[in-house]
Amino acid sequence: MTKKKDTSQAGSTSHHTVKFVDTVSLQGQLLIASPHIVDSRFQRSVIMMCQHDQSSAMGVVINHRSDQLDIAQLCETLEIGTPRFHGDQPVHIGGPVDGSRGFVLHSQDHMQPESVAVTHEIGLTSSVNILRDITNGIGPVHSIISLGYAGWHAGQLEQELSANIWLNLPASSDLLFKVETEDLWEKAYATLGIDPAHYASAAGTA
């Protein structure tokens, strides 16, 4: 895959560094975009946070489907053969950073040696082997396949949270794998008990 690497980061609001002050890690949480985000890369996005510490944060957008790719086309690009199963499963745009790199969020019924447990229910694997398993019908029961990710440098995510750019709530398998992609943003707000229109007027502009 030869997509040009985009080193953009999510919702960047400033060039100066904000000190990371005793913030609880958001790994295993969902970030929900505020209604006033206008950047098309993150508008109405829901991001699964896969890593978050004092030096950086990384997550994968789980509700932006690619208009050009499904698994069958991705397998053709990667030259790994025609899928026996799930060829029409969509591929998601996980974020603007490193758009040629693949990530699979999946149920933990199929963990590989290189898989990482993001929560007690959800795993993350970036090896092409899991794509082979999915297309051979022996992979995880539930999976979201994405290209690229969203990244933040030290303190940036904390700054964005304080500016009301994101809300967060604990991730669950039901939200990730059992809600239709186009409904996920609204469902996340409903889970929080918040009307997006009311939140937008209360938060103002970032």
Structure confidence by residue, pLDDT tens digits, 49-73 = 999 999 999 999 999 999 889 999 9
Beta-carbon count within 10 A of 152 CB: 21
**Pairing outcome for strands 90-93 and 143-153:** parallel
pLDDT of 151 higher than 50: yes
- Architecture of domain 29-203 in CATH? 3-Layer(aba) Sandwich (3.40)
Question: How confident is residue 124, by pLDDT bands cut at 50, 70 and 90?
Answer: very high
Q: Can you read off the two tokens belonging to residue 112?
A: 């590989």
pLDDT recorded at residue 75: 92
DSSP 88-145: T-EEEE--SEEEEEEEEEEETTS--TT-EESSSSEEEE--HHHHHHHHTT-S-SSEEE
Look at residue 10 in the predicted model and tell me its pLDDT. 54
Would you place residue 197 in the very low, low, confident or very high pLDDT band (cuts 50, 70, 90)? confident
Average pLDDT over residues 20-29: 75
pTM tops 0.95, yes or no? no
pLDDT at 8 over 70: no
Confidence of residue 5 (pLDDT cuts 50, 70, 90): very low
d(CA 172, CA 178): 10
Q: Is the pLDDT of residue 80 over 60?
A: yes
Is the per-residue pLDDT at 119 higher than 70? yes
- How far apart, in whole angstroms, are the C-alpha atoms of residue 53 and residue 191? 26
18 vs 175, more confident: 175
Give the model's pLDDT for residue 23.
Answer: 61
